[in-house]
Amino acid sequence: MIRWLPFEGIAALRFMREGWIQTIFILVGVSLGVAVTVFETSILTGVQANFLKRVLTSQAHIVLLPPDEVARPLHDGPGIVEDATLQRPNQRLRSIDQWQTIRATVASTPGVRVVASVASGAAMAVRGDATASISIIGAEPEDYFRIVRVPDYIVAGTWRLTSDDILIGTDLATLLGVTVGDRLFVTGRSPTPRALTITAIFDLGSKGANLRTTFVAFRTGQSLLNLVGGVTSLEIAVADAFAAETIAQDLSARTGVRADSWIKTNAQFFTAVQAQNTSNIVISSAVALSVAFGVASVLVVSVVQRGREIGILRAMGARRGQVLLVFLLQGGVLGFLGAVLGSLIGAGLLLVWHDQVRQTDGTELFPYVLDPLLIGGTLAFASVVGLLAGMAPAMQAARLDPAVAIRG
């Protein structure tokens, strides 16, 4: 017996040791509940982290675009407006007015990390008899590749971008039958085609992107799109990705251009994340509730079985508060020990799942994420649940009349 423990702790440990079968059942129940919570939450966190990494490294946090062109009503004399139906006009490929000034304003905005000037638009790629409609993105790689991590997706070649180079996707390379070092003839809005050398082939993880998206030097993009001196967009990376919408609204109000954040353009993703988080909370709550009822029911049986011992303790001078604390300690200790075992089981299951479940190319399906805060929070939560579960049987034990309990 541990002599340095107070009376309540010694009694609680003795009750748990003598009723070892009940103790094992409680530990198994709590461990399984905690293991499910840790495993499920870690998988959800890993999947979300993987998706966020994909999203935030394949697109800008904020994109500044020219404001939409709108049709204006015709005036027929002073103060008279023709009553006509106004239709939204076709949007021409055009540059952002005074984009250099706007870029300087954006660069000085708190929270903005990188700004890249981009000239992008539709073009046609020709290789022999094969042709393909493509989207060219003309950008300065020193800035743009700090926002969109194209080098991370290179599968062949190097990401060199001089005025006569082009980067293409794997599906476009297959369609045109080309590889690194081959030349493509690209025609945009400018009537003169450009012969560009393929320096790298990338895989963005999307067939549509790999089939249409290409990257060229900034000046080359301006020339092909007949936008010499202009840009079609300013793409921005911010320090806090989740503050992108707030910064975008501020920039739009200050500059007068249209600002689209990745949060706005990926609204369905946030809806899905919210639904996943809600379902995770519901499942974890249901597990915690079932564990609490299991602990409480076993402790109630323990109170009934140990009624005579409780009566003897009361007759020997144990106060109601001490008896109450004995069963509260049992619930708290069992909850904590069960959480420790459950966390180890959940971490082990997560490790096995991470090693065995892979994508078709052998890479990991999601990163292995085991948050220390999750483990610490789970231990604290399980201990509190154990204490609350032991409240009812503890109060029942404290109310026992010593004489009645001893007579049985």
In the structure encoding, which two tokens stand for residue 318, read together? 């144990």
Query: Are 15 and 302 within 8 A, CB to CB?
Result: yes
Model-level pTM? 0.65
Query: Are 262 and 244 within 8 A, CB to CB?
Result: yes
Arithmetic mean of pLDDT, 290-313: 69
- Residue 38: CB atoms within 10 A of its CB come to 26
110-140 pLDDT, tens digit per residue, is 999 999 999 999 999 999 888 999 999 999 9
User: What is the pairing mode between strands 213-217 and 165-169?
Assistant: antiparallel
Measured CA to CA in angstroms, residue 207 lies from 53, 158, 193, 278, 344 at distances of: 18, 21, 26, 32, 40
pLDDT over 70 percentage in the chain = 82
Query: Are 137 and 214 within 8 A, CB to CB?
Result: yes
C-alpha dihedral, 227 to 223 to 61 to 111, nearest 10°:
-80
| Closest alpha carbon to 93 in 210, 225, 187 | 225
- Residue found under tokens 């966190």: 45
Q: What is the DSSP letter of 159?
A: -
Model confidence at 406, in pLDDT bands (50, 70, 90)?
low
| Closest alpha carbon to 64 in 264, 204, 342 | 264
148: left (phi over 0), alpha (psi -120 to 50) or beta: beta
Quick one: pLDDT at residue 154?
Answer: 93
